[in-house]
């Protein structure tokens, strides 16, 4: 087993208007035995990063290490990695046994050892009764398990998984996600997992790298990124429904500070006033996750501002009209709009009685809210809790 490190790695492709940089100055370290999730929207450089590590693409600049070895000029075969692709890439004319054994056979492993290792992996993945079947006789989930088993049977130094579950239905995806995490934990093999699904990244990854336009936006533990996003992009990427953003201005108000926006004025806790003082007068975004909003019966005539409740950290956003309500099952997603036209989504218990057309008073937990600059990469202004 081994750790993996990227040091100022870049990858550019020639283009008519000049080189296009697909990967931009990547620097991160994956500790031995860790599952790292590379996550971001389509086209952000996730797969290119994986292919650079696998040796399928040649980097433009920087250094990649697997363990102590620099592998910039090492062939894919010599890197001791195993890769699972988005489509299972099984050999259709081979049985499950032969698909699992193919990599070992190419490495001239003894026949008895091949049988032993394939049998052990087949038992682990529930494939023992399918070894004589060909891929056409398997379900999508079974094919993906064979692809995973083909990687495991080689006992590589590093596993690379490129969106291996994206072609499966929701139920299969959830069961395979659990299976991948269980196996990776048992084998304790360094694993890099590419996905565009933020929930998949949060549940699988010990560490996450969030990419955008080939550059790292944030690196860290899943809950650290969720609770303390580095910028507005990361904040909006994680969470379902995503974080609400209101654009406004920070203004001084006696000994505290107010966030003035289209709905009204929101008073910020006085203990934060000095920290925010350098940004008084600045245009900012206020970010609030849907689960941190609370709804009570209100009316359109309700005053637009009240002091903060210092005990509960609840402060009033304003009165809004309910447009529609989604019911995913265990909670309600309430979509609301203010007279100013600004809209927000709240995630509340099913016991809350809300229906379209009603006016509700919206409050939020001020201690869980975030402030982002509108300039300089829309970074988050740190809180005293940081």
Rounded Cα distance between 164 and 316, Å, is: 44
Query: What's the confidence (pLDDT) of residue 255?
Result: 67
Rounded Cα distance between 57 and 76, Å, is: 10
Beta-carbon contacts of 215 under 8 Å, excluding residues fewer than 6 positions away, are 24, 25, 26, 45
H/E stretch holding 8? strand 4-13
Whether the model pTM is above 0.85: yes
Q: Which CATH architecture has domain 4-237?
A: 3-Layer(aba) Sandwich (3.40)
H/E stretch holding 223? helix 222-227
- Contact at 8 Å (CB) between 201 and 226? no
Query: What's the confidence (pLDDT) of residue 386?
Result: 54
- Look-up: residue for tokens 């084998």? 187
H/E stretch holding 9? strand 4-13
Is residue 240 packed enough to be buried (19+ CB in 10 Å), middle (13-18) or exposed (0-12)?
A: exposed
Query: What's the confidence (pLDDT) of residue 302?
Result: 44
Rounded Cα distance between 320 and 274, Å, is: 31
Write the Ramachandran bin of 126: left for phi over 0, alpha for psi from -120 to 50, otherwise beta.
Answer: left
Rounded Cα distance between 208 and 224, Å, is: 10
Query: What's the confidence (pLDDT) of residue 335?
Result: 96
* Fold type of domain 244-378: OB fold (Dihydrolipoamide Acetyltransferase, E2P) (2.40.50)
Please give the DSSP secondary-structure letter assigned to residue 255.
Answer: T
**Alpha carbon separation from 133 to 27, 118, 355 (Å, rounded):** 44, 14, 54
The two most distant CA atoms of the chain are separated, in Å, by 81
Within 207-351, strands assigned E span 207-212, 215-220, 244-253, 256-261, 265-268, 283-288, 293-297, 314-326, 331-337, 343-349
Rounded Cα distance between 147 and 160, Å, is: 12
* Domain spans in the chain, listed from the N-terminal domain onward: 4-237, 244-378
Rounded to 5°, angle at Cα 85 from 120 and 3: 70
Q: What is the dihedral of CA 288, 294, 297, 298, to 10 degrees?
A: -30
Query: What's the confidence (pLDDT) of residue 12?
Result: 95
Helix axes 111-125, 140-152, angle to 10 degrees: 140
Predicted confidence pLDDT, tens digits, the chain (386 residues): 789 999 999 999 998 888 899 999 999 999 999 999 999 999 999 999 999 999 999 999 999 999 999 999 999 989 989 988 877 788 999 999 999 999 899 889 999 999 999 999 898 888 999 999 999 999 888 888 898 889 889 888 999 999 988 877 888 788 888 888 888 888 899 999 999 999 999 999 999 999 999 999 999 999 999 999 999 999 999 998 999 999 999 887 766 778 888 777 787 766 666 777 788 888 999 999 999 999 988 654 444 444 444 444 567 888 899 999 999 888 999 999 988 888 999 999 988 888 999 999 999 887 788 999 998 889 998 754 45
Do the first three CATH levels of 4-237 and 244-378 match, i.e. the same topology?
no
**Alpha carbon separation from 101 to 17, 48, 54, 112 (Å, rounded):** 47, 28, 21, 11
């Amino acid at each position: 087993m081994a750790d993996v490190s990227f040091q100022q790695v870049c990858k550019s492709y020639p283009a008519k208007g000049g080189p296009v940089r697909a990967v931009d100055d990547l620097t991160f370290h994956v500790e031995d035995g860790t599952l790292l999730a590379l996550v971001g929207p389509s086209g952000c450089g996730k797969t290119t990063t994986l292919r650079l590590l696998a040796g399928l693409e040649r980097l433009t600049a920087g250094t990649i290490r697997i363990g102590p070895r620099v592998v910039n000029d090492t062939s894919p075969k010599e890197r001791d990695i195993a890769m699972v692709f988005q489509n299972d890439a099984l050999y259709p004319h081979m049985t499950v046994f032969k698909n699992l054994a193919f990599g070992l056979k190419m490495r001239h492993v003894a026949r008895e050892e091949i049988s032993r290792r394939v049998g052990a992996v087949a038992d682990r993945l529930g494939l023992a009764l399918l070894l004589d079947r060909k891929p056409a006789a398997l379900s999508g989930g079974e094919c993906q398990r064979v692809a995973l088993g083909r990687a495991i049977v080689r006992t590589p130094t590093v596993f690379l998984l490129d969106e291996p579950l994206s072609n499966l239905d929701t139920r299969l995806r959830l069961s395979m996600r659990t299976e991948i995490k269980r196996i990776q934990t048992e084998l304790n093999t360094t694993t890099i997992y590419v996905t565009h699904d933020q929930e998949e990244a949060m549940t699988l990854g010990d560490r996450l790298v969030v990419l955008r336009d080939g550059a790292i936006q944030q690196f860290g533990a899943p809950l650290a990124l969720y609770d303390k996003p580095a910028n507005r992009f990361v904040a909006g990427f994680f969470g379902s429904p995503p974080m609400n953003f209101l654009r406004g201005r920070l203004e001084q108000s006696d000994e505290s500070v107010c966030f003035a926006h289209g709905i009204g004025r929101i008073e910020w806790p006085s203990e934060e006033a000095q920290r925010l003082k350098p940004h008084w007068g600045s245009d900012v975004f206020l970010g609030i996750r849907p689960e941190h909003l609370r709804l009570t019966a209100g009316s359109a005539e309700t005053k637009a501002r009240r002091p903060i409740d210092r005990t509960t950290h609840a402060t009033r956003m304003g009165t809004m009209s309910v447009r529609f309500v989604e019911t995913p099952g265990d909670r309600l997603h309430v979509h609301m709009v203010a007279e100013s036209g600004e809209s927000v989504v709240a995630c509340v218990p099913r016991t809350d009685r809300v229906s379209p057309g009603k006016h509700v008073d919206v409050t939020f937990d001020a201690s869980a809210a975030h402030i982002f600059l509108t300039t300089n990469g829309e970074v988050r202004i740190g809180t005293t809790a940081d």
